[in-house]
Amino acid sequence: MSKKSKQNMDKKAQVLGNNKGGYSKGLAMLVVVAALALAGGLSWWVMSPGQADTPQVSSLAVVNGEKVVALDASLFEDGKARHFELKGEGGMLVRYFVIKSSDGVIRAAYDACDVCWPEGKGYYQEGDMMVCANCGKRFPSIKVNEVKGGCNPAPLLRRVENGKVIIRLADIAEGRRYFNFSKRG
């Protein structure tokens, strides 16, 4: 073996490791790079629009003989939309969100609209705007639960009593048409 060939082999061994006692340095480096890429990809997916706020299961109660969802109004003081879901008939999930708008009113809407509901993407928040994750249209928080039709978040009846946001289960169930994806066109 020539001196130059031996030097080249020594360089390869330095780069790849000699693998006498376990993993080579090259393989270890490859594993580290792959793990970092996977972690970066997962963090992007978790924080991408529409995924940053994991839906919460609604807390059920009975108020004045009505079956309702009762949420602490203080949960919405920060002005951030909170997404919820409630399992209805046949296991269908009805998704909705509650937000305290910039004018101080607690508002609720289905996480769907009359136009984009078949895509099942809902809304995410950017500042004071709720944004359709399908078409990108933006809606000021003060219009949530006020304007209906088109791509506006479909209004959901709610009331605030004794520090609780109260939403009737029957009203939530009215929104099941937005989450029946077997009817997609």
Q: Are residue 32 and residue 113 in the same domain, yes or no?
A: no
pLDDT at res. 148 = 85
* Neighbouring residues of 27: CB distance < 8 A, sequence distance ≥ 6: 16, 17
pLDDT at res. 42 = 38
Q: Are residue 24 and residue 71 in the same domain, yes or no?
A: no
Q: Are residue 34 and residue 112 in the same domain, yes or no?
A: no
Q: Which domain holds residue 102?
A: 56-183
Q: Are residue 77 and residue 34 in the same domain, yes or no?
A: no
pTM for the model stands at 0.67
The number of folded domains in the chain is: 2
At 79, the amino acid letter reads G
Provide the CATH number for the domain around residue 114.
2.102.10.10
5-61 pLDDT per residue, tens:
555 555 555 544 554 555 566 665 555 545 444 444 433 333 333 433 544 555 677
Q: What is the mean pLDDT of residues 153-164?
A: 94
Q: In what order do the strands lie in the sheet with 82-87?
A: 56-57, 82-87, 93-100, 106-110
72-120 pLDDT per residue, tens:
999 999 999 999 998 877 778 999 999 999 999 999 999 998 899 989 9
Q: Are residue 42 and residue 71 in the same domain, yes or no?
A: no
Quick one: how far is CA 125 from the chain centroid? 10
Q: Are residue 67 and residue 115 in the same domain, yes or no?
A: yes
